[in-house]
Amino acid sequence: MASPNPSVDDIVATTIENRSKKAADNVTRNNALLNRLAKQGNTRAYSPIDGGTTIWEEIEYALNGTTMWYSGYETLNIAPQQIFTSAIFQIRQAAVAVSISGLEELQNSGEERMIDLIGGRVSNAERSLESLIATGIYSDGTTPKSIGGLQQLISKTPATGSVGGIDPATWVFWRNIAFSSATDGGAPATAANIKGYMDAVANQLVRGTDKADLIPADNNYWELYNQSLQAIQRTEQVKTGESGFESLKYRSADVILDGGFQGYSTDPIPVGGVPVNTMYFINSRYLKYRPHRDRNFNAIGPKRMSVNQDASVKLMGWAGNMTISNRRLQGVLGA
């Protein structure tokens, strides 16, 4: 990829050529949902894996059909019941490389060094890999080798497309709730009607204590909901834990802005985030972010030296997937 400024290469940009001691980050996307899902110990949705060839989510999909009223010596129904199955998800992998030549190491050493070249490239690699994963979290599962994201797991067409090896066209229990503002609501979303549309989705997701606890939204829908709260003096802006990402409250759920800055269409990593005019209603008890314990933004092996170049490469990687064990308690509001 060509540099935005051809006269400034990595060495110049990270050493003494009148640069500040911190390179400005002009590439990272708004990764609010990834930040929320990946907070260890602070969310039900963070569930690392530690091995296996696939990731299994056990599903209870039917009631026991032997239940019955009876009297005295009446024969009871003891027929075996098939009430459990599993959704099966593949382990996906992602990696990023950090390279440096022998000449660059020499040029970037000593007292004149202002920004550590390797440190700067590692930080950029971490942000790049994070952006790739954050993009995958919202994907539709059609990109080869990518994780399956919310457009697949909580689909706007919930009766189509196999998820975890289960076909929702056949199995009705495996369909999430989908609500279209224009089709189901009768009009495009506005600040005046978006609360009613959100209620129409959220009410269908309540089962005992189960309910949506996290609602990522794109710029448009987040702002419409924000405006609807301001109109009745009920705005409550809070932080999602200590992450600093802005959110609003809807019932007991956090409505997080995960549109924001999403990069440029020419970036190597595609523009991501919540699709335009969309809100996802997530019950994090059943939707999981599942990285591998030993490959979660970790180094892959030792530093690799080129066999015919004065250069070395270090790889950083991630492995895992997004999984879901109950689609019926998830919802999406779209245009």
Model confidence pLDDT, tens digit, residues 48-97: 899 899 999 998 888 888 999 999 999 999 998 888 899 999 999 999 99
In the chain, % of residues over pLDDT 90: 54
How large is the average pLDDT for residues 217-230? 92
Q: How confident is the model at residue 241 (pLDDT cuts 50, 70, 90)?
A: very low
CA dist 75 and 64 (Å) reads 17
> What pLDDT is stored for residue 62 in this prediction?
83
CA proximity to 124, closest of 26, 32, 36? 26
- Residue pair 76/70 in contact (Cβ under 8 Å)? The answer is yes
> What pLDDT is stored for residue 94 in this prediction?
96
CA proximity to 277, closest of 192, 200, 220? 220
Q: How confident is the prediction for the chain on average, in pLDDT?
A: 85
- Residue pair 117/16 in contact (Cβ under 8 Å)? The answer is no
- CB environment 57-83: b (16+ within 10 A), e (fewer): bebeeeeeeeeeeeeeeeeeeeeeeee
Model confidence pLDDT, tens digit, residues 131-169: 899 889 999 989 999 999 999 999 999 999 999 999 999
Residue 128 tokens read as 């790049």
Domains: count for the chain: 1
Model confidence pLDDT, tens digit, residues 184-207: 999 999 999 999 999 999 999 999
Question: Does a structural domain hold residue 124?
Answer: yes
Question: Does a structural domain hold residue 77?
Answer: no
Question: Does a structural domain hold residue 72?
Answer: no
Question: Does a structural domain hold residue 118?
Answer: yes
Q: At 295, which CATH number?
A: 3.90.1690
Question: Does a structural domain hold residue 75?
Answer: no
> What pLDDT is stored for residue 27 in this prediction?
55
Give the residue, 106 or 169, on which the prediction is more confident.
Answer: 169
Which pairing describes strands 54-60 and 331-334: parallel, antiparallel, or unpaired?
Answer: unpaired
Which pairing describes strands 331-334 and 177-180: parallel, antiparallel, or unpaired?
Answer: parallel
With 60 as the cut, is the pLDDT of residue 25 above it? no
Place of tokens 């064990």: 325
What single-letter amino acid sits at 192?
A
> What pLDDT is stored for residue 286 in this prediction?
94
What domain range is 246 assigned to? 10-14+26-61+84-334
With 90 as the cut, is the pLDDT of residue 217 above it? yes
> What pLDDT is stored for residue 118 in this prediction?
77
Question: Does a structural domain hold residue 2?
Answer: no
> Rg for the chain (alpha carbons), in Å?
24
Whole-structure pTM value: 0.85
Question: Does a structural domain hold residue 163?
Answer: yes
Q: How confident is the model at residue 273 (pLDDT cuts 50, 70, 90)?
A: confident
Question: Does a structural domain hold residue 99?
Answer: yes
Helices (H), 142-265: 150-153, 194-202, 219-231
Q: Measuring CA to CA, how many Å separate 184 from each of 124, 151, 169, 197, 334?
A: 44, 19, 20, 9, 10
